[in-house]
Structure 1
Amino acid sequence: MKKTASDKILMILKMRGKITAAALAKELGITKEGVRLQLVKLTEEDLVETTSKREGVGRPVTYYSLSEKSTSKFPDSHAQMTVELLQSVKSLLGDNALDLLINDREKKIYQRYEDELKKATTIEKRLTKLCKIRSDEGYMAEWKKEKGEYFLIENHCPICAAATECQGFCRSELNNFRQLMGDEFLVERVQHIVSGEERCTYRIREKDNIL
């Protein structure tokens, strides 16, 4: 189904956090007035919030961001059912059974990802392929390089409810990323959606370059 202008704006806000109308217009390739009309509509629907920030002299700059209500546009996959199943496993079979379930999932996901990445011979190629896989799964993933360090960024978590109920899922994903990047890289999570931040971000550094 073709995305509307409003859908595209919500997607950009999800990916970028806060952004000005001018920056939105440039990214969408439409006029500032066209963007402002869409933003007014989204604000009236309580899907977008505004904040003002003074940047030097002159009038404050208005930034737009997603509201709490807009999270329904980026649903957590089968959230309530998943949480109830996890609670049942823990209640009926105990913590050890839940750990076994997560470990089994971790191994299967790692093998599937590694099969997809086996032809990617550089860290950049592996990150590009991994972001494609994760985005297809709903994580809205991207990567960037800054000052010799790589950052894997996931702007959405489609299993957030499950991860909040049992953070073993988050630990499992970090373990997989470490294995996929290889022994020569250090991978650490520096932002975490479950901790209340806007996205999950993983910093990836070559071990030989760490002082």
Structure 2
Amino acid sequence: MFARGVRDLVKKQWVRIVDELKLSGGLPVPELQRRLGGSYMGIKDQCEALRKRGYLETWRIPRKGIGRPEIMYRLTEKASCLFPDAGGGLSVALLDAARHLFGDTAPERMLLQHFQKLREDWQPKISKAKSLVEKATLLSALREKEGCFGRCKYDPDQGFRIEEYHHPLQPIFDLYPNAIQFELRMMEELLGSKVIRREVPGGRGGPARVDYEVATLGVRAD
């Protein structure tokens, strides 16, 4: 998360708050305090500082029992600038120019080459891992350096997965959906395992995300 260098220029507590709100979709101060530590007023003051700068907003939800509605903090649209987007419009414009110059298949050929190059660059690093869990965890860390934002998760029912909440190439995936399969193939080749990609819509349970489930670590294979 955050464009390179930005993390070093802002308050660490701000970064941690934004991280948690990106992952959760929204939290009250007591839950942020439980996850991050520190004092209630310290967390609230930091949230208010981010709200005044336009990066957070609040909304109220009714409590299940008696009491005032609970105040929740969540990221605003302005906060999206904190997450890298791979050049956004420029990348799309370059792919469109390649299509005009070299034919309709040129953009997808370029994207395929991009993921093949990533596989070649990452293979020596991932091959040093001693287990599939280590490989998947290392792959997630490498993807984060490329601008993705996610977390590795494991539970007995669903197995091991990488949950991603931001991908810098999403605008490109929207225009060239075959590139999603190029990326998935790269991940499977690096891990030596089938990977199941699932899009999880956002809602009251949290923000939208994409799950990459490693099939040989206990996930369902439907």
* TM-score, normalisation: structure 2: 0.80
Within 5 A, what are the aligned runs for 1:1-211?
Answer: 1-4=8-11, 5-59=13-67, 60-146=69-155, 147-183=157-193, 185-191=194-200, 198-206=208-216, 210=221
Q: 1:207 to 1:198 in 2, by over 3 A?
A: closer
Name the SS for the 1:95 alignment partner: coil
CA RMSD after TM alignment: 2.6
In the TM superposition, what is the alpha-carbon distance from 1:27 to its structure 2 partner? 2.8
Percentage of matched positions with identical amino acids: 22
Instruction: Write the distance in 2 (CA, Å) between the matches of 1:134 and 1:188.
Output: 15
Task: Report the TM-score when normalising by structure 1.
Answer: 0.84
Q: CA deviation at 1:125?
A: 0.7
Partner SS for 1:10? helix
- Amino acid corresponding to residue 153 of structure 1 in structure 2: E
2:200 touches 2:211 (CA, 8 Å); kept in 1? Answer: yes
1:204 aligned partner, one-letter code = V
Q: Distance in 2 between matches of 1:96 and 1:137?
A: 25
Judging changes above 3 Å, is the alpha-carbon distance between structure 1 residues 210 and 162 closer, same or farther for their aligned structure 2 residues? closer
Contact 2:92-2:172 at 8 Å conserved across structures: yes
Which ranges of structure 2 fall in alignment gaps of 5 or more residues?
Answer: 1-7
Q: Match of 2:200, as an amino acid?
A: Q
> Which of 1 and 2 has higher RCO (CA within 8 Å, sep 6+)?
2
